[in-house]
Amino acid sequence: MVQCSPLVASFKKRWVQLAGHAGNFQAGERGKLLKKYCESEQQCLQKLMGDSLCPFVPGYYGVEQLDEQEYNVMDDLLADFDSPSIMDCKMGSRTYLEEELVKAREKPRLRRDMYEKMVAVEPGAPSAEERAQQAVLKPRYMQWRETLSSTATLGFRIEGIKKADGTCNTNFKKTKHKEQVMQALKDFVGGNNPNPGIYLQRLEELRTELEKSPFFRTHEVVGSSLLFVHDGSGRARVWMIDFGKTVPLPPPLSLDHRTTWVEGNREDGYLWGVGQPHQHPDSNAAR
């Protein structure tokens, strides 16, 4: 369920949610954001506070209870911006964990909710059998979903874009081809941004840290996003968010995040999605 409206507009004017369930977030105090507790996310945020990637992750402040629900407390990354433009790009060439695929196969359960989501996006997608059952199996749904967007072909997909003028688009489920993705990126990067080149610089800084990070090397990073934020002042930042599906690898396994995924190797394609180092003056490192 994609949300686009300010979630808690009454006492928090700036914060905007581009993905996930609306009920997962609460505004916190003094530029903080509360996200519904998830243990793997807590573990990751905690470890990231001591990793070289720390400057690229929202500050993490532990767990807080509110109305019988636990939340991870983190920085609201929009708090210091004035009418920010924001973009959420879900990184990687796969958006489910290997363990999810294994689990989904172990207990085959027909899912009506997934069938309905499938039909809503691509009415012709279900097979005759699936249509008769009005349901699909989860592995089938997971693999179908990856083919719709640029996830499998570019190593990332756009989840949502909100521009400074208030317009918001979270309808990128079928934005797959490079030309379409480039157009959306150009539109975002150039809109109300006095310094469009800064994003390339930010991504290069991030890639340098990713390549050095012990955390990154030892985790399968799936379903995590890069949040791009800029405003009319010429400032722009790129942060890593959403670690609900980022899991530690059994030692001594490590990933380069570029090697093609073959089930069992745990590779997630994250760095492949970020792009190659700048080699030629006329090449585009961010693709």
Cβ neighbours of residue 165 under 8 Å, at least 6 residues apart? 192
The 52-71 site mask, x for binding ligand ATP (CB under 6 A), equals ------x-------------
**Using the rule CB under 6 A, is 149 a contact of ligand ATP?**
no
Report how many residues bind ligand ATP under the rule CB under 6 A: 23
The residue from 155, 223, 269, 273 that contacts ligand ATP (CB under 6 A) is 223
In the 8-state DSSP scheme, what is residue 79? T
- Per-residue b/e over 58-96, b at no fewer than 16 CB within 10 Å? bbbeeebeeeeeebbbbbbbbeebeebbbbbbbbbbbbb
| Cβ neighbours of 146 (radius 10 Å) | 16
**Using the rule CB under 5 A, is 242 a contact of Mg ion?**
yes
The distance of Cα 22 from the centroid of its chain, to the nearest Å, equals 16
Give 168 or 200: the residue with its C-beta nearer to Mg ion.
168
Select the span of 20-28, 42-50, 111-119, 187-195 touching ligand ATP (CB under 6 A): 20-28
Cβ neighbours of residue 6 under 8 Å, at least 6 residues apart? 12, 13, 14, 15, 16
**Using the rule CB under 5 A, is 160 a contact of Mg ion?**
no
| Cβ neighbours of 48 (radius 10 Å) | 23
The residue from 4, 17, 44, 268 that contacts ligand ATP (CB under 6 A) is 17
Q: Phi then psi for 68, rounded to 5 degrees?
A: 65, 15
**Using the rule CB under 6 A, is 268 a contact of ligand ATP?**
no
**Using the rule CB under 6 A, is 21 a contact of ligand ATP?**
yes
| Cβ neighbours of 119 (radius 10 Å) | 16
Give 63 or 253: the residue with its C-beta nearer to Mg ion.
63
The option from Mg ion, ligand ATP, none interacting with 77 (CB < 5 to 8 A, set by class) reads: ligand ATP
The residue from 27, 72, 76, 115 that contacts ligand ATP (CB under 6 A) is 76
The residue from 19, 33, 78, 185 that contacts Mg ion (CB under 5 A) is 19
User: Closest by alpha carbon to 270, among 154, 149, 155, 151?
Assistant: 155
Residues at the interface with ligand ATP (CB under 6 A): 16-21, 24, 33, 58, 74-78, 88, 159-160, 223, 225, 227, 241-242, 244
